[in-house]
Structure 1
Amino acid sequence: MAIQNIQIFDTTLRDGEQVPGCKLNTEQKIKIARQLDQLGVDVIEAGFPVSSPGDFESVDAISRIVKNASVCGLTRAVEKDIKTAAQALEKAVKPRIHTGIGTSDSHIKFKFNSDRESIVQRAYDAVKYAKSFVEDVEFYAEDAGRTDNAYLARVCEAAIKAGATVLNIPDTTGYCLPAEYGAKIKYLKEHVKGIDKAILSVHCHNDLGLATANSIEGVINGARQIECTINGIGERAGNTALEEVVMILRQHPSLNMDTRIDSTMLYGMSQLVSEHMGIRTQPNKAIVGANAFAHSSGIHQDGVIKNRETYEIIDPKEVGVTESAIVLTARSGRAALAYRAKQVGYELTKLQLDQVYQQFLDYADRHKEVHDQDIHIIVENSHLYREIISA
């Protein structure tokens, strides 16, 4: 069976930029967009054009330089929003308008002071109007995660009838459990008339730490596009992390799914976004965190030194990391010390290692981490130093 392609819709420059204090200027957005295009994302959501002159300028500028990916502009189900987005996307090789409206009872009642029938009509009208400008129109049903499935199916049918090419089913508040969200996608796949005319897309937030799990359940149940951000940045607790879903699909061939992403660029992409947005990536972040391929436990270090796959399911080089890190601490064993000592020029015999290791432990107990320069100090203070360097 042929491997199914899962499209990657990157919203780092739109949803990701909604993190407080992470505003990017147009020059920064262009730099990130160029790298995203090289990375192999299928869609770059460049911004919300009607929100400000700066966002309009950024979407327009990105539309002019992106060669491979579709360039997308977000709108509300408002004619002015849609027309403004169309103007910002005029120079895009593959323009997409992303329009939509809230569909949960909470949104309908409190946000729009409206009713279900009116929302269906507004969804239809928004897509129809967007379709008059571009062929590729994505419709989002905001708060779909808390929307009744039968009603959500009606809204989706209206969007398809109006010409939507993609249906975005957001878990806007990050509330859904994976099985629940997967069942929602499955329901739509089986009950929406004309669903074969559109791609189902997942857009999951991380309020309960389930964004990645929900996205994977979504594609298992029929979605063919994942909306995500580099490093999982985004509103509140963030979005689905691009690097996580890409590597999950790649590491699980039984799913028979993959993306077009050049995974060797992931670490560099993470660093670029972190630098420009001023958000330090947490050390234990999956795939791209500083500790993702670092080992400090003696048992783990011994295993990795003997065979990397004992404790690493991903080769660091696959995601652009040069090599695994053997971090020396008081929890490290002899194998790790011998390994790191060899890297800085000391080939220790078993006897020498036993002697140096005791001094290493004394030193390590007084420091959080033992660095290369510390290894020199430890060896030089050993009574075996002359024997070691003359070997």
Structure 2
Amino acid sequence: MPSSTFPTLTTPAGPTLPEAPAWNRQRRSAMPAHRYRDAHSRVDIPLTDREWPSRRLLQAPLWVPVDLRDGNQALAEPMDPARKRRFFELMVAMGYKEIEVGYPSASRTDYDFVRLIAESDIAPDDVTLVVFTPARRDLIERTVESIRGIRNDVVIHMYTATAPIWRDVVLGQDRAGLRQLILSGGRDVLQLAGDLPRVRFEFSPEVFTLTEPDYALEVCNAMTELWEASPDRPVILNLPATVEIATPNVYADQIEYMHRHLDRRDSVILSVHPHNDRGTGIACAELAVLAGAQRVEGCLFGNGERTGNVDLATLALNLHAQGVDPMIDFSDIDEIRRTVEHCNRIEIHPRHPYVGDLVHTAFSGTHQDAIKKGFAEHRRRAAAERRPEREIEWRVPYLPIDPADVGRSYDEVIRVNSQSGKGGIAYVLETEFGIELPRRLQIDFARRVQQHTDASGSEVAGDQLWGLFREAYLAPATESPVELVDCSTSGRSTSVTLRAGGVERTTSRDDAGTVEALTAALAEAGHPVEVLSLHQTSMSAGSTGDALTLIEYRRGRTTGWAAGLDRSVHSATLHAVMRASADA
């Protein structure tokens, strides 16, 4: 199509996208788009010779998870101390070397968690801890109190919003007044913590993306001068996309402008903190690193205010998929997901990059055929080169990475669809019996159905499918070594009586739920079982009307599924746990 078909529209800000051609004359929407301003009219970035488009990502930046602070404050039900500790220990085990652990002046829970770290050994010596505070003296004092005695390196992270609308509407300050407010907070930090060993400083001009570039540069240079940034004690300047307001290239331009014009650049660690309001947080972070950022703050799987913080898992595994070591261990991504879901009380979407239950599953026949051929070619190349398959370059259609890299099996990739299509497994159970199976249980059950159909060579009707399900997950074990005699709750205490070898034993747990009390009693009886997930549904559509509890369990290195069926949800859950203990 000749270029004359696309006349270019110009504005004082420069060239824009071409006008839509005749074949793309879509109707106007009913939404009032005229009420909004584009980012270029609000932030004019004096950068014309940008270098970031020609660069490549060749190494991982410093990752800083902020789940315990930014992610936690976005939860409807913030983490309790046990969940905070479990999340922290997960991040340490994964290899994070700098972790934001809380906002000590915001709540007693956050303050106490920082004190727990100070008074225990849960933080390895090589992990740097970050604490967050506004630029207000009383809150800075509380923050400094929380870190006293910590043996690790500590970063005190001070922030203040700097964008015009925040200055006008929230803070009531002009540029000069806000600069003095920020410097006052910086002086308080220096006075209260400047002489503490192993303490460094971080400053965030909140809403950096909507702040005038010259003002952001002025304030950041003032802070590095005040804090005497030096190569052996660098200051972190964190430039957050607190609210994502433009295409990712605009953020990259903003970061490159700061990277090239900051004073004391060799004494600054340039950090970014992208949010995901436009759904492009990942791209913003990646382009920001190309533009000069050395450090990225975000959350595992992208939890955070509104649409979330940038997803550190996706960023890291994007590097992995390009042959760059992300420096973080995601080799058991399902365990990571379970921990994050437990701590956040938020389930991860089945289509979430890399971690979702469906991301390695092909439902299309053409996709599945290509994947099978890719696996066959991968095995052929490994045999020809006489090398293990795990050492051969990964080139399988539709699979950006080898599922085994993140601890996934190949069964869910090449078998689930063929079986769910063949017998309509999940669909039949839901429509005929009202049972909604979790995706991982669908995968497990599909393997069993295939064994049956391979032996019989026939399709499976609804009643047969339900019979196979009962046999696999509900039928009592032939010889159960332990029997549940009673489980009851009185006040805050739950009592469990088990019979093993003809001997009954009763144990009690305070402030424990039914499942927690029962699994603890089983462990004491020598039959430990860990419940990984619990799902409750009900039978309907002409069946029994009973409650059905489905649990995913682990014992040692073995995982499996068990179910319990009863009129009572409570009893169904107990039956499921006991079946799991017998299976394990």
Q: 2:112 aligns to what SS in structure 1?
A: helix
* 1:56 and 2:108 aligned: no
Equivalence for 1:216: 286
Equivalence for 2:336: 269
CA distance in 1, matches of 2:285, 2:97: 16
CA distance in 1, matches of 2:346, 2:412: 23
Per-residue CA deviations over 1:188-209 (Å, capped at 9, x if unaligned) read 0111222221111110111111
Does structure 2 conserve the Cα–Cα contact (< 8 Å) formed by 1:296 and 1:326? no
Identity of aligned residues (%): 25
Q: Which amino acid aligns with 2:399?
A: E
Equivalence for 2:87: 32
Q: 1:213 to 1:324 in 2, by over 3 A?
A: farther
Q: Which amino acid aligns with 2:262?
A: V
Q: 2:160 aligns to what SS in structure 1?
A: strand
Does structure 2 conserve the Cα–Cα contact (< 8 Å) formed by 1:268 and 1:320? no
CA distance in 2, matches of 1:15, 1:220: 25
CA distance in 1, matches of 2:166, 2:290: 28
Question: RMSD in angstroms over aligned alpha carbons?
Answer: 2.8
Per-residue CA deviations over 1:349-368 (Å, capped at 9, x if unaligned) read xxxxxxxx9xx378898678
Which of 110, 117, 139 is the aligned partner of 1:81? 139
Q: CA deviation at 1:274?
A: 0.6
CA distance in 2, matches of 1:2, 1:381: 53
Q: CA deviation at 1:373?
A: 3.7
Q: Which amino acid aligns with 1:150?
A: D
Q: Which amino acid aligns with 2:218?
A: R
* 1:291 and 2:358 aligned: yes
CA distance in 1, matches of 2:130, 2:297: 12
Equivalence for 2:413: 326
TM-score by length of 2: 0.57
* 1:161 and 2:225 aligned: yes
* 1:372 and 2:447 aligned: yes
Q: Which structure is higher in strand share? A: 2
Q: 2:203 aligns to what SS in structure 1?
A: strand
Stretches of structure 2 lacking an aligned partner (at least 5 in a row) = 1-55, 230-234, 376-395, 431-441, 461-584
Summarize the alignment of residues 108-257 of structure 1 with structure 2, pairs less than 5 Å apart: 108-132=167-191, 133=193, 134=196, 135-163=199-227, 165-253=235-323
Q: 1:237 aligns to what SS in structure 2?
A: coil
CA distance in 2, matches of 1:227, 1:162: 24
Q: 1:173 to 1:384 in 2, by over 3 A?
A: closer
CA distance in 1, matches of 2:303, 2:458: 52
Q: 1:267 to 1:166 in 2, by over 3 A?
A: farther
Q: 1:310 aligns to what SS in structure 2?
A: coil
* 1:102 and 2:123 aligned: no
Q: Which amino acid aligns with 1:87?
A: E
Q: CA deviation at 1:279?
A: 0.4
Equivalence for 2:123: 66
Q: 1:238 to 1:92 in 2, by over 3 A?
A: farther
CA distance in 1, matches of 2:424, 2:158: 63
Corresponding residue pairs, total: 357
Does structure 2 conserve the Cα–Cα contact (< 8 Å) formed by 1:10 and 1:45? yes
Greater relative CO, 1 or 2 (CA 8 Å, sep 6+): 1
Does structure 2 conserve the Cα–Cα contact (< 8 Å) formed by 1:40 and 1:69? no
Q: Which moved more, 1:320-329 or 1:65-74?
A: 320-329
Which one has the largest radius of gyration? 2
Q: Which moved more, 1:53-62 or 1:106-115?
A: 53-62
Per-residue CA deviations over 1:35-93 (Å, capped at 9, x if unaligned) read 21121113211111011111100122234421132111110001122221122122141
Q: Which amino acid aligns with 1:47?
A: G
Q: 1:98 aligns to what SS in structure 2?
A: strand
CA distance in 1, matches of 2:130, 2:317: 24
Per-residue CA deviations over 1:369-389 (Å, capped at 9, x if unaligned) read 78234335545664799xxxx
Q: 1:365 to 1:11 in 2, by over 3 A?
A: closer
Equivalence for 2:346: 279
Does structure 2 conserve the Cα–Cα contact (< 8 Å) formed by 1:295 and 1:301? yes
Q: 1:100 aligns to what SS in structure 2?
A: strand
Q: CA deviation at 1:246?
A: 0.7
Q: 1:307 aligns to what SS in structure 2?
A: helix
Q: Which structure is higher in helix share? A: 1
CA distance in 1, matches of 2:57, 2:412: 37
Per-residue CA deviations over 1:86-136 (Å, capped at 9, x if unaligned) read 221221411111101001001111110011112222223323332441531
Q: 1:176 to 1:22 in 2, by over 3 A?
A: farther
Q: 1:176 to 1:131 in 2, by over 3 A?
A: farther
Q: CA deviation at 1:267?
A: 3.6
Which of 397, 404, 429 is the aligned partner of 1:317? 404
CA distance in 1, matches of 2:459, 2:302: 50
